Amino acid sequence: MLNLQAKGFDALATSDTVAMLCTQEQVASNVFIPEQLHNVFALIDIKTFKAKPNSYYYNALKNKPAILLVGLGPQKDVTAETLRNAASTIIQACQDKGLTQIHIVVPLLTAVPDVSRCIAEGAFLSNYNFNRYKTNNDESAPLLQKAVLVCDNPQQLSPMLKEVAVVCSNTLLCRDLVNETTEHANPVTIAKLAKKIAAQHAIQCTVYTKKDITKMKMGLLLAVSRGSIYPPYCIVMRYRGAPSKKESIAIVGKGITFDTGGINLKPTGHIETMRTDMAGAATSIYAIAAVAQMKLPINVHAVIPLAENMISHTAYKPGDVFTAYNGKTVEILSTDAEGRLILADALSFTEKTIKPNAIIDLATLTGACIVSFGEIVAAYLTNDEQLSTALTKASGATGEKIWRLPLYKEYNEEMKSDIADIVNVPAQRNAGTIMGATFLKNFVEDTPWVHIDIAGTAWYSKKRGYVPKYATGFGVRLLYRFIKDLAL
Ligand code: BES
Ligand code: ZN
Ligand code: ZN
């Protein structure tokens, strides 16, 4: 993981590489060059560099700091995301040039808040690869070891840099877990991992086994897990950052470690990436870990139902009816709509036994979410305006984009079953993301609740700026920020 530091200009040595981020206007008028570097810039010609977003210029002089310029584009277009992505260009350039350390001058940009935080985040989050299955290490460029932010007030940055390192390292660990193969990321290993992480960060952790789940009558989680060699688990992690208060928030994360679709088997083209279906679980584990590591003064629970949705002679079948933890009966019309089933049991268990003040669930729930929003935006649906406002604010701060969909009661009609209380998928396959949330609504009675569908955002089919191809870690920073800003 990246070692993030801050230093003053006086600490720059002639052997350092100094990266600078500059807008088109700044480059045109040379105003971005700090006094301490005037002598270096006198020796180089940057006229050809137009500061286009994500373009860079590199010049290594003898006996002077090497200069790396990264473009930010026109000043009016510079946002927090521009800075995070520009920081990822710095990391890319360092990899191209084989550098393991970089000094980054914090640019003067009054229109964007938290400039140094955004640069630190972008650098930390783009300094990532998943190459543990490569036998030839030469194939991937080495990662950066150290990034030093250079500014006039280095001491003031240190609490922020610590927080960025904690939250972003948990985001990278979340990516690792989602990228990991099912041989190493299955209900058994994830339950063990949750215990290990809990022990490291003063989090209590209870792992409910198949026996407990049977006793507790979580009929839907049991049904989904039935075709797999792995038993189901339900993990409950508890972080008590405000021991004198009874208020708490609960995170619930979908933990399907592989989604074959079950008897409604997924076809080629849709099944290959389905180890991503535990991204909600991974996000929940690493978000609570980040909260605990930062010792935030708030009580947080993470409830994580884990199962593998397999096709086999023991698998549950279309037409079966099962009774949920809250007593409602569910007719299975598709064994591929399994996420909502395990979440249903986890949600009503959370509401009834933990009694939190708010529940936020994350799930790679519907392909329809990708149809609507692609990989850029997560859908969210909620029964509470305050939660909606708070989540939108957190999303604005972290750059993890979300968009609200409605939960009108008219949609409830579509979920009625002829033979049981509800079906798990409606007869007509319209409004898939809304129908998924409408199903879940049956398992939350009166607790403020948000459901976030991360089917598109959890897994990228290509690299985008500071977010790599495959597992993105979407939601760890969002949840952390949301929880930090909650006043319970
Ligand atoms: N895990 C999938 C949703 C998904 C699709 C996540 C693509 C990530 C990428 C979920 O369990 C699923 O299969 N949903 C079905 C629901 C349908 C049967 C109503 C879907 O989206 O097709
Ligand atoms: Zn499915
Ligand atoms: Zn699924």
Closest ligand, as measured to the CA of 270: 1
What is the domain class of 169-487 according to CATH? alpha beta
Q: Is 340 a catalytic residue?
A: yes
403: left (phi over 0), alpha (psi -120 to 50) or beta: beta
**CA neighbours closer than 13 Å in the CB half-sphere of residue 148:** 20
Closest ligand, as measured to the CA of 273: 1
Ligand 1 environment, Cβ below 6 A: 259, 276-277, 334, 336-339, 364-368, 370, 425, 432, 455
Ligand 1: which residue has its CA nearest to atom 8?
Answer: 455
Q: Is 226 a catalytic residue?
A: no
Mutation test of ligand 1: which of 333, 365, 453 has the most ligand atoms closer than 8 Å to its C-beta? 365
The number of the ligand 1 atom at minimal distance from the alpha carbon of 429 is 19
Domains 3-153 and 169-487 fall in the same CATH topology: no
Report how far ligand 1's centroid is from the alpha carbon of 137 (Å). Answer: 35
Domain ranges for the chain, please list them.
Answer: 3-153, 169-487
Ligand 1: which residue has its CA nearest to atom 5?
Answer: 367
Show Cβ contacts of residue 91 under 8 Å, excluding neighbours closer than 6 positions. 122, 123, 126, 127, 144
Report how far ligand 2's centroid is from the alpha carbon of 258 (Å). Answer: 9
Residue position matching structure tokens 């939190």: 356
Task: State whether residue 157 is helix, strand or coil.
Answer: helix
The number of the ligand 1 atom at minimal distance from the alpha carbon of 276 is 8
Nearest to 466 by CA among 158, 80, 20: 80
Catalytic residue (one of 7, 217, 266, 484): 266
Here the tokens at position 13 are 């040595």
Residues whose beta carbons lie less than 5 angstroms from ion ligand 3: 256, 259, 277, 339
How does pLDDT run along the chain (488 residues), one tens digit per residue?
999 999 999 988 888 999 999 999 999 988 888 888 998 999 999 989 999 998 999 999 888 889 999 999 999 999 999 999 999 999 999 999 999 999 999 999 989 999 999 999 999 999 999 999 999 877 777 899 999 999 999 999 999 999 999 999 999 999 999 999 999 999 999 999 999 999 999 999 999 999 999 999 999 999 999 999 999 999 999 999 999 999 999 999 999 999 999 999 999 999 999 999 999 999 999 999 999 999 999 999 999 999 999 999 999 999 999 999 999 999 999 999 999 999 999 999 999 999 999 999 999 999 999 999 999 999 999 999 999 999 999 999 999 999 999 999 999 999 999 999 999 999 998 999 999 999 999 999 999 999 999 999 999 999 999 999 999 999 999 999 999 999 77
| Alpha helices (H) along 186-229 | 187-200, 210-215, 219-225
Mutation test of ligand 1: which of 254, 264, 277 has the most ligand atoms closer than 8 Å to its C-beta? 277
Contact 369, 455 (CB under 8 A): yes
Ligand 1: which residue has its CA nearest to atom 7?
Answer: 367
Show Cβ contacts of residue 152 under 8 Å, excluding neighbours closer than 6 positions. 8, 9
Here the tokens at position 184 are 């190493």
Report how far ligand 1's centroid is from the alpha carbon of 216 (Å). Answer: 27
Residue type present at position 177: L
Whole-structure pTM over 0.85, yes or no? yes
H or E stretch at 118: helix 115-126
Domain 3-153 has CATH 3.40.220.10: yes
pLDDT value for 327: 98
**Cα separation of 136 and 472, whole Å?**
24
Here the tokens at position 487 are 């006043």
Residue type present at position 438: T
Catalytic residue (one of 340, 441, 477, 481): 340
